[in-house]
Amino acid sequence: MKVLVINGSPKLEKSNSLRLTNAFIKGLQSETEAEIERLDIYRLNIEPCQGCLSCWKRTPGKCFKNDDMAGCIEKLIAADVIIWSFPLYYYSLPGRMKNFIDRQVPTMKPVMKDRYDGKGNGKHSSRYDLSHQRHVYISTCGFFSDKGNYDAVRAQMDLIHGVGNYTTLFCGEGEMFPVPMLNERIEEYLGYVSRAGVDYVRYGTILPATRQKLDELIMPKAEFEKMGDSYYAHCEAKAAKLAKEKAEAAEAK
């Protein structure tokens, strides 16, 4: 099994979402032999799509831009499972990950087809037979729960893959993962994420019992929001103090 991880976090290895992804892969690898490769989008030179459609008209299947995306497309086509790992930014994907998705237009044919899943009113055919390929979306966000906050992401993936044709593992309270005092609870949660990887290999999905554990809050809503508000209040006070000191130093000159 070839597994391609798309790391869409600018934090790279320090990404909270990637920590979940690694736990999921740990479970997956405990059940099957898997060849894992990771693409760190923020380390790659991938320019924005210009919408010129040269990849349809002049050089079918090939973008004219000479950057890293051509090699990425080869890896995407070869993968059996693609894991999209990213933080939630403004209720959506990080900019460079959206750009990475936009640049996949060369993999599609211009001929339009009808769709019958009630999502949108048309689609394009793939140039490649990817019927065996599966997608997993793993992400953390800064809200206390993922509920409702990923609606825009789900709507986009419903259009791209079709309803029910991909797996999600979305986690609220993502900023709690580096907090030392929560290590025990975080490790417990990551254990359930690994269990999700086991489920995925065995059953092709995450079982309801595992999903129930993943849906549990890392810490109660009131405590989480109090801790977060206190932290950012401290940051604002520190920034205000530094700004005042700079202003006073400038006046002294």
pLDDT digits (tens, 9 = 90+) for 191-237: 999 999 999 999 999 999 999 999 998 888 888 888 878 878 888 88
How many independent structural domains does the chain possess? 2
Q: Enter the DSSP assignment of 105.
A: G
pLDDT lower than 50: segments of the chain: none
Q: 199 and 248 share a domain? A: no
**Phi, psi (degrees; rounded to nearest 5) at 7:** -90, 105
Q: What is the CATH number of the domain that holds 67?
A: 3.40.50.360
Angle, helices 16-29 vs 183-203, to 10°: value is 50
* Residues with Cβ within 8 Å of residue 222, at least 6 apart in sequence: none
On whether both 174 and 58 belong to a single domain, the answer is yes
Do residue 117 and residue 204 come from a single domain? yes
Long-range own/partner contacts, residues 209-215 (CB < 8 A, 24 or more apart) = 214/169, 214/171, 214/189
Quick one: 150 and 249 in the same domain? no
pTM score of the predicted model: 0.90
Residue-number span of the structural domain to which 211 is assigned: 2-219
Same domain, 237 and 133: no
Statement to judge: residues 163 and 209 lie in one domain: yes
